[in-house]
């Protein structure tokens, strides 16, 4: 039975398109060029920060965020950057009586913004606040702790088979892989993704899948 559902943030509930566009503008490179380099880095399995280093060798993103803020161009997001299916999905899962949380690799300012959005969730966890980041086992140990302590009753939803699904499964957590955002379309690891309980293209699909799974007593259902 699924009792708690945690969501990755960037690429899962948050569309990062505008955020990456502002980084391209900040570095003074065409947005299409930045997107192409970003996609190539994903396809090669490189760290997500590598594209930034291509345009600004040795860049420290924490320092660069401070520079942007000082220049009046802070890295930010808002309600308009949430995927349209995010808030309805969270609400529907809460209505089922489930514990719902957000847990992703995000900088300090992201948690403040997420709380201000007043999303229907019980907990918001970020790598900056927790002091651990995916794909470390410590990150998912924290998810399990926040979700009640039983990994088998927790579902983690994310767009990355490498950073979300694989480490969550290693921790004994059920997973749902959503195909969207650059990683969802470019990064394909069948041996990992096929082990997910659910594979979806939209969060609109998830509440019904979870409800059917629980109604079946925790047995696998198509999805």
SS3 string of the chain? CCCEEEECCECCCECCHHHHHHHHHHHCCCHHHHHHHHHHHHHCCCCCCHHHHHHCCCCCHHHHHHHHHHCCCCCCCCHHHECCCHHHHHHHHHHCCCEEEEEECCCHHHHHHHHHCCCCCCEEEEHHHHCCCCCCHHHHHHHHHHCCCCHHHEEEEECCHHHHHHHHHHCCCEEEEECCHHHHHHCCCHHHHCCCCEEECCHHHHHHHHHHHHHCCCCCCCC
How high is the mean pLDDT of the chain? 93
The pLDDT of residue 221 is above 80: no
What's the CA gap between 19 and 85, in Å, rounded?
19
Contact 195, 165 (CB under 8 A): yes
Contact 183, 134 (CB under 8 A): no
Q: Which of 31-40, 97-106, 197-206, 211-220 has the lowest mean pLDDT?
A: 211-220
What's the CA gap between 215 and 141, in Å, rounded?
27
- The residue-averaged pLDDT of 79-85 equals 96
* Local confidence band at 223 (pLDDT 50, 70, 90 cut-offs): very low
The pLDDT of residue 44 is above 80: yes
Contact 1, 217 (CB under 8 A): yes
- The residue-averaged pLDDT of 105-123 equals 92
pLDDT digits (tens, 9 = 90+) for 156-185: 999 999 999 999 999 999 999 999 988 888
Q: Count CB atoms within 10 A of the CB of residue 6.
A: 27
Superfamily of domain 4-15+79-215: HAD superfamily/HAD-like (3.40.50.1000)
* Local confidence band at 219 (pLDDT 50, 70, 90 cut-offs): low
Q: Which two tokens stand for residue 130?
A: 């927790």
Q: Which two tokens stand for residue 145?
A: 């702790």
Per-domain boundaries in the chain: 4-15+79-215, 17-70
Q: How far is CA 92 from the centre of its chain?
A: 19
The pLDDT of residue 220 is above 80: no
The pLDDT of residue 198 is above 70: yes
The span from the first CA to the last CA of the chain, in angstroms, equals 16
- The residue-averaged pLDDT of 114-132 equals 95
pTM: predicted TM-score of the whole model, two decimal places = 0.91
Q: Which of 60-69, 87-96, 145-154 has the lowest mean pLDDT?
A: 60-69
The pLDDT of residue 20 is above 60: yes
* Local confidence band at 130 (pLDDT 50, 70, 90 cut-offs): very high
């Amino acid at each position: 039975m699924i009792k708690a559902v945690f969501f990755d943030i960037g690429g899962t509930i948050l569309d990062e398109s505008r955020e990456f566009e502002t980084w391209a503008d900040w570095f003074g490179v065409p947005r299409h060029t930045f997107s192409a380099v970003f996609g190539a880095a994903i396809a090669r399995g490189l760290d997500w920060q590598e594209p930034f280093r291509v345009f600004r060798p040795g860049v420290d993103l924490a320092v660069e965020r401070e520079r942007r803020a000082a220049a009046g161009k802070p890295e930010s997001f808002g309600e308009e950057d949430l995927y349209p299916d995010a808030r309805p999905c969270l609400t529907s899962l809460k209505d089922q009586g489930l514990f719902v949380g957000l847990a992703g690799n995000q900088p300090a300012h992201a948690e403040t913004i997420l709380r201000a959005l007043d999303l229907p969730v019980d907990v918001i966890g970020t790598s900056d606040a927790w002091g651990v980041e995916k794909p470390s086992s410590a990150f998912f140990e924290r998810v399990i702790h926040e979700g009640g302590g039983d990994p088998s009753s927790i579902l983690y939803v994310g767009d990355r088979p490498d950073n979300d699904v694989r480490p969550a499964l290693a921790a004994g957590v059920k997973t749902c892989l959503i195909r969207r955002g650059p990683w969802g379309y470019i990064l394909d690891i069948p041996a990992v993704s096929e082990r997910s309980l659910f594979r979806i293209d939209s969060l609109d699909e998830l509440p019904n899948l979870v409800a059917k799974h629980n109604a079946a007593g925790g047995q696998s259902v198509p999805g």
